[in-house]
Amino acid sequence: SQQGEEDPQALSIQEGENATMNCSYKTSINNLQWYRQNSGRGLVHLILIRSNEREKHSGRLRVTLDTSKKSSSLLITASRAADTASYFCATDAGSSNTGKLIFGQGTTLQVKP
């Protein structure tokens, strides 16, 4: 079963625009991570935000976490064609000792040049 649900499922924007993806989850968490996957490739870690953090930045990425609403958002600013990929949120479901990191269904982002 999936813990996280991403919204929207698909997003198409022009280069230079910002892209916002949302993730909702069901149980309490210790941390939430965002990953990126290019077609036919493995997942690449983007950013990790802990449950006691509300916002985190990494380059053009901005992640927010609202534990009261059990939701997170990933903002990519000034998008580039190379940002075209699928983006997944993943949570530990509050169970850090079992290692079960649960992924959502993903948002497919297309950035048109």
List binders of another protein among 37-56 (CB under 8 A): 41-45, 48
- Residue 2 neighbours by CB distance under 10 Å: 12
Residue 73 and residue 1: Cα distance in Å, rounded? 21
Q: Which residue's CB is nearer to another protein, number 33 or number 79? A: 33
Size of the site for another protein (CB under 8 A): 26
Q: Which residue's CB is nearer to another protein, number 10 or number 78? A: 10
Classify residue 17 by its DSSP letter: S
Specify the residue for token string 């990519």: 76
**Can residue 61 be called a binding residue for another protein (CB under 8 A)?**
no
Contact 63, 47 (CB under 8 A): yes
8 preceded by a cis bond (ω within 30 of 0):
yes
**Can residue 82 be called a binding residue for another protein (CB under 8 A)?**
no
Q: Which residue's CB is nearer to another protein, number 64 or number 95? A: 95
List binders of another protein among 16-35 (CB under 8 A): 30-31, 33, 35
Extract the tokens encoding 36.
């990126």
Rule CB under 8 A: which residues touch another protein? 2, 4, 30-31, 33, 35, 41-45, 48, 88, 92, 95-106
